[in-house]
Amino acid sequence: MIKVSPSVLAADFANLGSEAKRAEEAGADLLHLDVMDGVFVPNISFGAKIIQSIRGYTHLPFDVHLMITDPARYIDDFVKAGADLITIHYESCDDQISVLKQIRSAGVKASISIKPATPAFILEPLLDYVDMVLVMTVEPGFGGQSFIPDTLESIRTVSAMVKSRGLNIDIEVDGGITAETIRPAYDAGANVFVAGTSVFRADDASAAIAALRSACV
């Protein structure tokens, strides 16, 4: 069974609480929250206080994606804000294992992400420390981009590593996920799908999420 994690980056920022509730009512499994600092990626989104402010509007698990430099400094802030899972980028720090341990020690799930150009095999030593791997299928920083087909090979590589180790790790993909692009990513091994524009900008969010699920049957 796949999981759909709508990204609030495509939501109405003036009504984030109601947008989070709308995602839940539409059948989402998680809520994806993209935190950007304008340094690691060329855009600024929001921080822990905004996440905390919408926590009370939904029961969905918060899937917090940190696209920031030096993420270790802010882990506690995002845990207190209501994160259930925190993703850091492989490229954002030197001691990834230490930060992943810090996340798990705080009582939430830990995840590691790679940009499209980063070789997936580099994650193999980290698999024992994560609950999920996030493969970016666009360049991180902006919503509404088109899926990069070459990233399918990274998904396949991660899936093969996870299976060979017999690990119970989710594989999430983020970027350009629509009813047309989800199936190749699913076939490559992904089971968690971030969908921003295709859900929040749809006329019917419930139908949009249902279409994503149907494409993987």
Helix-strand-coil percent breakdown of the chain, rounded to 5?
45, 20, 35
Which candidate, 203, 205, 145, places its Cα nearest to that of 177? 145
Out of 29, 34, 63, 170, pick the active-site residue.
34
The Cα 59–Cα 140 span in angstroms is 27
**173/216 Cα distance (integer angstroms):** 14
- Catalogue the E-assigned strands of the chain: 3-6, 31-36, 62-67, 85-89, 109-114, 132-136, 170-174, 192-195
Q: Catalytic: 128? A: no
- List the Cα angle 183/185/191 in 5-degree steps: 95
Active site residue 94: no
Residue of 37, 63, 131, 174 marked active site:
174
The three-state DSSP-derived secondary structure of 96-144 is HHHHHHHHHHCCCEEEEEECCCCCHHHHHHHHHHCCEEEEECCCCCCCC
Residues classed as catalytic: 34, 174
